[in-house]
Amino acid sequence: MINYLDIAPCGYFSFTDNGALQEVNSTLCLLLSYSREDLIGNKIDSILTLPSRIFFQTHLFPLLKMQGHAEEIFITLLTKNKTQLPILLNASNQPAQGNNCYTCAFITVHNRKKFEDELITAKKEAERALHENTALQAVKQELQKHAKELDEQLGLVNKINGELRQINRAVSHELQEPLRKISFFTQILKDSPHAGTDPNFNINIERVLRSTARLRAVIFGLQQFMWLQDAPVAYIEINTLSLLKDAVKKLNEEFGPAIMELSIGELPAIWGDQQQLELLFYHALSNCIKFRKEEKAYISITGTIIEKNHFRMIPDKYEYREFLRLDIRDKGMGFDPRYKDQAFELFRRLQVIIESTGIGLALCKKITEKHRGFITIDSRQHEGTTLSIMLPVRHPEKI
């Protein structure tokens, strides 16, 4: 029987788990121009073309291992003279010869391959046409739907913007003016000869002055917030490190030169609005200072380029772009991470301290989103906070 198999009009071979050829028949040797001795013990890879080797490793071997058999597998053998031999292969695990032995029989498919070539070309053509047509129809429908939605959204946005502008005006003038007067008259009271007659008088006057100062800071923050609503992003190439240092300089002027200890990693350049990004860095770092645990704020800043889908609102739209992720870590008070989603809300203060106005992180979020970026915060109480700001590396229109 074994002699019949040896000269049968089909190729036959067996191999083990590690890919070594165990048996080959004469038909196979003849087809590949090898002698039996050339092949036994060699890896099956040596008689496969490169693409077929990958296919063997990624598909055929896992299939055999999991299922125990595989039928009608198309692969290409490589002869000793480096010519290609397309074959159709059946393979199965033969428990009789040990669990890790696979026997294979194949026939050559030169002519069938030509026929299949034509079939594949025709099939691809048909699929392409079908796909293009279906895709086109879908795009058209999407476009119409979006145009309608966009129109409604724009109307709504316009209305809200108008209202916001009115509020902004009210905040700037209507609140600013009485506040200025309160400060002015309180100052007069403080300097008046009656001051000091009552020991509580000066304490209360100081309280009024502190509260007005705080109110002024809040109004200033709100104005910045409102300004950002309308301000366009004036894109220029930003030297991230030097802009960060500008923000640090301002904070040092405000809080003192020894207020923070910074370690800054390598930071690549990005495109963005210089003024807005400086404000972003200022508020991000100012938060680290305000919520420090010790005399000094210990802050580390690292930058990593990552790729991210830049679509945020439309589901099922994907396009991956480069973002710079700035991780600003401090060893400050931190907060309960359960509340991290609320951290960016306007006037939401997770830790009540006097210097905090509850506007800084809301501004950070606003600026980041104006730049089509993403911002997240993570924190552990008493351990510290990490603010991650992801900003697009390139100009949005120059991609």
Partner 1 sequence: MKKDVLQRNNVRIFGKGEQAMIFAHGFGCDQTMWRFITPAFEESYRIILFDYVGAGKSDISSYNTERYSSLQGYALDILEICETLELTNAIFVGHSVSSMIGVLAAVERPEYFNNIIMVGPSPCYINGESYVGGFERADIEGLIETMERNYIGWANFLAPTIMGRKDKPELSQELTESFCSTDPVIAHQFAKATFFSDNRKDLAKLKIPALILQCSEDIIAPLEVGNFLHQQLPRSTLRVMKATGHCPHMSEPDETISLIKEYLEC
The rounded distance, in Å, linking the Cα atoms of 107 and 6 is: 14
50 binds partner 1 (CB under 8 A): yes
Among the residue ranges 220-228, 291-299, 308-316, 349-357, the one whose residues contact partner 1 (CB under 8 A): 308-316
Give least dist CB 398 to partner 1, A.
21
Alpha helix stretches (DSSP H) within the chain: 2-7, 26-32, 36-39, 50-55, 61-67, 110-169, 176-191, 199-230, 240-255, 274-290, 360-370
Residues 54-93 that bind partner 1 (CB under 8 A): 54-55, 57-59, 61-63, 65-67, 71-76, 88
In what order do the strands lie in the sheet containing 260-264? 260-264, 297-309, 320-330, 384-392, 374-380
Residue from 7, 8, 17, 211 that binds partner 1 (CB under 8 A)? 17
131's tokens: 């796909």
Residue pair 390/375 in contact (Cβ under 8 Å)? The answer is yes
CB closer to partner 1, 43 vs 245: 43
Minimum CB–partner distance for residue 40 and partner 1 (Å): 17
User: Which of 305, 342, 380, 381 contacts partner 1 by CB under 8 A?
Assistant: 305
Q: Which residues are CB-contacts of 273 (< 8 A; sequence separation ≥ 6)?
A: 231, 233, 234, 235, 236, 370, 371
CB of 63 to partner 1, least distance (A): 5
Is residue 120 a contact residue for partner 1 (CB under 8 A)?
yes
Site string for partner 1, 319-358 (x = CB under 8 A): xx--------------------------------------
The secondary structure of residue 180, as a DSSP letter, is H
Q: Toward partner 1, which CB reaches closer, 246 or 378?
A: 378
| Distance (Å) of CA 314 to CA 79, 146, 157 | 53, 10, 17
d(CA 115, CA 88): 14
**Residue 4 touching partner 1 (CB under 8 A):** no
**Residues 369, 375: Cα–Cα separation, whole Å:** 8
Binding segment toward partner 1, per CB under 8 A, in 28-36, 45-53, 180-188, 391-399: 45-53
Whichever of 242 and 309 has its CB closer to partner 1, that residue is 309
* Residue 316 in contact with partner 1, rule: CB under 8 A: yes
Of 229, 306, 383, 396, the one binding partner 1 (CB under 8 A) is: 306
Which residues between 374 and 393 bind partner 1 (CB under 8 A)? 378
Nearer to partner 1, 68 or 358 (CB): 68
Instruction: Please report how close the Cβ of residue 378 comes to partner 1 at its closest, in angstroms.
Output: 7
Q: Is 19 in the site for partner 1 (CB under 8 A)?
A: yes
Does residue 34 interact with partner 1 by CB under 8 A? no
Among residues 243, 245, 233, the alpha carbon closest in space to that of 269 is found at 243
Binding of partner 1 by 52 (CB under 8 A):
yes
Q: Closest distance between partner 1 and the C-beta of residue 313, in Å?
A: 15
How many residues of this chain bind partner 1 (CB under 8 A)?
50
Distance CA 58, CA 315 (A): 32
Angle between helices 199-230 and 176-191 (to 10 degrees): 160
CA dihedral 281, 283, 285, 286 (to 10 degrees): 150
Question: Are 28 and 11 contacting, i.e. CB atoms less than 8 angstroms apart?
Answer: yes
Which residues of this protein are in contact with partner 1, per CB under 8 A? 17-19, 43, 45, 49-55, 57-59, 61-63, 65-67, 71-76, 88, 100, 113, 116, 119-120, 123, 127, 130-131, 134, 304-309, 316-320, 378
